[in-house]
Amino acid sequence: MPAGPGNASAAPDTVTDRLVEANERYASAFTDPGMDARPVLHVAVVACMDARLDLHDALGLSLGDCHTIRNAGGVVTDDVIRSLTISQRALGTRSVVLIHHTNCGLESLTEDFRHDLEMEVGQRPAWAVEAFRDVDQDVRQSMQRVRTSPFLLHTDDVRGFVFDVKTGLLREVDPA
């Protein structure tokens, strides 16, 4: 229930209410850093949406440092290429960091997920599930998709990593 004049003092009753309340505290301490939209470190990070991966803390990033592009698996889909293209051509980034991780939810799925979905809703999704078994191979495939994209200006500094959700450490994946 939205907090209106009649229930402004009521305890938050949904997770979104909690987030909105946290934002009010955040904004009360916020001062305009006066930045423009171009990332200070000229880097875009593509990562899985996994809740255990705090990109800013794990990579020592501060507000304004980078673009973060996240989806299930950190897969380089057409829409990730869209974001990277805008990131590089309109907002000046040149490096790309790809981060997948151990114990990813996509390792327990198969492309049967699409089939089951089609059976359930009567329509086949246009997208691939992008399930995988070998996380290193999945990172290499993502690096390859970035490096071979005709839309990107900068494909010379593309590196891929696996984040270990148990130790917090990144392990770099050899592109070869």
Residues flagged as binding site for Zn(2+): 48, 50, 101, 104
Nearer to Zn ion, 50 or 130 (CB): 50
Whole-number Å distance between alpha carbons of 130 and 140: 14
Q: Is 130 in the site for Zn ion (CB under 5 A)?
A: no
CB of 131 to Zn ion, least distance (A): 11
Calculate ∠ Cα 56-58-63, nearest 5°: 15
Please provide the size of the chain in residues: 176
Nearer to Zn ion, 41 or 109 (CB): 109
CB of 75 to Zn ion, least distance (A): 9
Strand partners, 67: 44
CB of 129 to Zn ion, least distance (A): 13
Q: Is 104 in the site for Zn ion (CB under 5 A)?
A: yes
Using an 8 Å Cβ cutoff, are 168 and 105 in contact?
Answer: no
Q: Is 48 in the site for Zn ion (CB under 5 A)?
A: yes
Binding-site residues, in ranges, read 48, 50, 101, 104
Three-state SS string across 49-97, please?
Answer: CCCCCCHHHHHCCCCCCEEEEEEHHHCCCHHHHHHHHHHHHCCCCCEEE
- Candidate segments 20-28, 45-53, 75-83, 136-144, binder of Zn ion by CB under 5 A: 45-53
Nearer to Zn ion, 61 or 138 (CB): 138
Whole-number Å distance between alpha carbons of 139 and 173: 7
Q: Is 47 in the site for Zn ion (CB under 5 A)?
A: no
Please state the φ and ψ torsions of residue 109, each to the nearest 5 degrees.
-105, 160
Taking CB under 5 A as the rule, which mask of x and - marks residues 49-78 in contact with Zn ion? Answer: -x----------------------------
Site of interaction with Zn ion (CB under 5 A): 48, 50, 104
